[in-house]
Amino acid sequence: MRKLYRFLVSEDEDPAPELLRPLAEELRGHNYDIGHVVSVILRSRHFYDPAARRQRVKGPVEFSAGLLRRWRCRGPTYACWPWPGLRAARQDLFAPPNVKGWDAARPG
């Protein structure tokens, strides 16, 4: 739960155990459906809290996927996909450096 919260809400802030306990109960109560817990987090006041605003730094792959959604591109067409930007950032989608993927780094 901690990793999920940090991924969706704030990378800097470790959630309190009092916050994680109800999320864990939701997960168990809904037969370990991660989608349900993600929807609970995304509808929570923590997600929309001004303190959590701009706490997530998107990597090039996440940013590119957001562009595709914004441009309403469907499927892996070369006309839509920003491949050169990913390659320039050394994050070629199908060639990660290891099984973990790329390390996230905060600028500055």
* Nearest residue to 55 (alpha-carbon basis) of 13, 2, 103, 101: 13
55 pLDDT more than 60: yes
Kindly state the percentage of the chain with pLDDT values over 70.
81
- pLDDT computed for residue 107 by the predictor: 47
Give the model's pLDDT for residue 85.
67
Of 35, 51, 31, 55, the C-alpha closest to 43 is 35
Between the CA atoms of 33, 74, 42 and 5, what dihedral angle is there, to the nearest 10 degrees? 70
The two tokens of residue 46 are 């923590």
- In the predicted model, is pLDDT for residue 76 greater than 70? no
